[in-house]
A and B are shown apart, each in its own frame.
Chain A
Amino acid sequence: AQKITQTQPGMFVQEKEAVTLDCTYDTSDPSYGLFWYKQPSSGEMIFLIYQGSYDQQNATEGRYSLNFQKARKSANLVISASQLGDSAMYFCAMREAITGGGNKLTFGTGTQLKVEL
């Protein structure tokens, strides 16, 4: 069974600083992928970034990047130049293939990030 672990229930960062949100995973599947989602206080989940297990480079998307360390089974999200609007809950998730195509996700417990002035 797949397992996602996020060990930081809450994090604080100062505006304009970089912050790393931790995510470790466990799977026996050699082909896997990891997603990061952001959930602001409004409740809607917003897709941020995806990393595949066979991707040669770490994923980047604007101010978001993934520090993917396969041997350590970690896929940490790095947010550079934090903004007040980055204050939200962040979830790491792992995909698993399903019948008919596509995937289902197993989520971690999330990290609540607060950006301070």
Chain B
Amino acid sequence: DVKVTQSSRYLVKRTGEKVFLECVQDMDHENMFWYRQDPGLGLRLIYFSYDVKMKEKGDIPEGYSVSREKKERFSLILESASTNQTSMYLCASSPGKVYTDTQYFGPGTRLTVL
């Protein structure tokens, strides 16, 4: 089974802190994704990566950056956390072979910024 893990289920940070959310997949997938989920808005894509060190902006990249130094690990970075970044963050991975690829999701990190 594909396993996508995220470093924390719950995280509480203060405004202005630098925050790292980590995601690891164990299926040698090429593509990895970061979404945020807010009530009434569904899931929105922040960034994705289709190869090591390669990244592309999604629909809402402002205030975020990412890092992919190894194939299995994709990090989301909040350079200076703000209260409007309080949300559920979901990581996903997919094989990256065909356009019908299914994305596999991690359990999510619920981040609260005070």
Taking beta carbons and an 8 Å cutoff, which residues of A are in contact with B? 6, 9, 31, 33, 35, 37, 42-47, 50, 52, 91, 93, 95, 97-110
Contact = CB atoms under 8 A, between A and B. Distances in A.
28 contacts: A6-B42, A9-B40, A33-B99, A33-B100, A37-B105, A42-B107, A43-B88, A43-B107, A43-B110, A44-B108, A45-B103, A52-B100, A95-B99, A98-B31, A98-B50, A99-B54, A100-B31, A100-B50, A100-B51, A101-B99, A101-B101, A102-B98, A102-B101, A105-B43, A105-B45, A105-B103, A107-B44, A109-B41
Interface of B: 30-31, 33, 35, 40-45, 48, 50-51, 54, 56, 58-59, 88, 90, 92, 94-108, 110
A98 B106 CA distance: 21
B43 A104 contact: no
B98 A101 contact: yes
Nearest to A31: B99
Given A97-B99, A101-B50, A104-B33, 19 more contacts: A9-B40, A45-B90, A46-B105, A50-B100, A50-B102, A95-B99, A95-B100, A98-B31, A98-B50, A99-B50, A100-B30, A100-B50, A101-B101, A102-B31, A102-B50, A102-B98, A104-B58, A109-B40, A109-B42
